[in-house]
Amino acid sequence: MTIALTDKAKRKLQSYQLGQDKFLRIAVVAGGCSGNTYHAAVDSELKPNDEVVHTDGDIRVVVDARSALFIDGLQIDYSDDLIKAGFRLANPRAASSCGCGASFKI
């Protein structure tokens, strides 16, 4: 499974002081015009069906078993523009996405 983080995303995640007790959780949830959307949050509680899918220094990316089916090839970037600052999650394997890019279909 491949996940890529840009340098900008890594720097922003490091500012959250991720480490042994905190990690980035990514989940794929039903929603949006195309059927699925990514949800990302800093978490500190591993659940029994969680899988660590990426590590880079102190940065760990964790997903649940269902979400793992949708994240191979995921690219995580961070944008600090004034209008829509935040993390950008994109998967080039997605068959289609909605016009605003918030949801996707594999």
Which residue has better confidence, 80 or 35?
A: 80
Task: Tell me the one-letter amino acid at 5.
Answer: L
What is the per-residue pLDDT across 3-18, written as a single tens digit (0 to 9) for each?
Answer: 999 999 999 999 998 8
Residue-range domain boundaries for the chain: 3-95
The 10s digit of each residue's pLDDT in 67-98 is 888 888 899 999 988 888 888 888 777 654 54
Map tokens 């983080």 to a residue.
Answer: 5
Q: What is the DSSP letter of 72?
A: T
d(CA 37, CA 7): 23
The Cα 48–Cα 70 span in angstroms is 19
Instruction: Tell me what pLDDT residue 20 has.
Output: 81
* pTM, entire model: 0.80
Which 3 state secondary structure label does DSSP give 91?
Answer: coil
Element (H, E) at 26: strand 23-30
Assigned CATH topology for domain 3-95: Hypothetical Protein Aq_1857; Chain: A; (2.60.300)
